[in-house]
Chain A
Amino acid sequence: GQSLEQPSEVTAVEGAIVQINCTYQTSGFYGLSWYQQHDGGAPTFLSYNALDGLEETGRFSSFLSRSDSYGYLLLQELQMKDSASYFCAAPYNTDKLIFGTGTRLQVFP
């Protein structure tokens, strides 16, 4: 089976940098995705790391270390609109995406 663990909540102020961690246990691993979900909304795709290392997309970066079974999402220059829940997710048997426990990010002015 698979499990992906995240901190339940992270808080930060506007303009700051925040890191959301994800540790996983899996019998087979292909890569790690990140999704953002605003209250009342649907999860939307942010990034996918198939290989170790850092992937940068604008203010958001995602990192993966397979040897440590660990990844993180880095959000820079935080804005109020970044307040949302963030989920890591991993494909299992290539045909389903298993989601992490989710991290609620609150950004304060």
Chain B
Amino acid sequence: DTAVSQTPKYLVTQMGNDKSIKCEQNLGHDTMYWYKQDSKKFLKIMFSYNNKELIINETVPNRFSPKSPDKAHLNLHINSLELGDSAVYFCASSQDSLAVRGLVFFGPGTRLTVL
């Protein structure tokens, strides 16, 4: 299936741990994103990569480090997890200019719970 996929779907961990979320898209898109959705369902962009280059870093703490080994993959590593990091993290991708179509494809999400 052509899609954006991410693993794991659920992640439960203790404060202070380090964890990673992996994302892959087989849509051939040039741009990939990480979004964070909090408990009130606010969707906020964290990072954007275009052809492996970081385009946007939305003042995210540097405990969050995205890595794009190629344009089909964008992983998110989080160091020293805090309670406030608990959220659903969505990977997404787009091809056309957002100004033309406003179209972004989202992965299924990773629900991170920090205890």
Contact = CB atoms under 8 A, between A and B. Distances in A.
Interface in A43-65: 43-45, 48, 50
B33 A90 contact: no
B98 interface: yes
Contacts, number: 66
Residue in B48, B97, B98, B105 with the greatest tally of chain A CB atoms within 10 Å: B98
Nearest to A88: B102
A42 B109 contact: yes
B44 to A, nearest CB: 8
Nearest to B106: A42
A30 interface: yes
A70 interface: no
Interface size class of A (residues with CB under 8 A): 20 to 34
Contact of B98 (A41, A42, A94): A94
Interface stretch (A10-18, A74-82, A95-103): A95-103
Contacts of A98: 45
B45 A91 contact: no
Interface string B58-102: 000000000000000000000000000000001000100111111
A32 B102 contact: yes
A99 B43 contact: yes
B107 A42 contact: yes
Interface string A21-45: 0000000001111000100011111
B102 A95 contact: no
A43 B43 contact: yes
A85 B48 CA distance: 24
Interface of B: 31, 33, 41-45, 48, 50, 55-56, 90, 94, 97-109
Given A89-B102, A98-B45, 14 more contacts: A30-B99, A31-B102, A41-B108, A43-B90, A44-B106, A45-B102, A50-B102, A91-B98, A91-B99, A95-B55, A95-B98, A96-B98, A99-B44, A102-B42
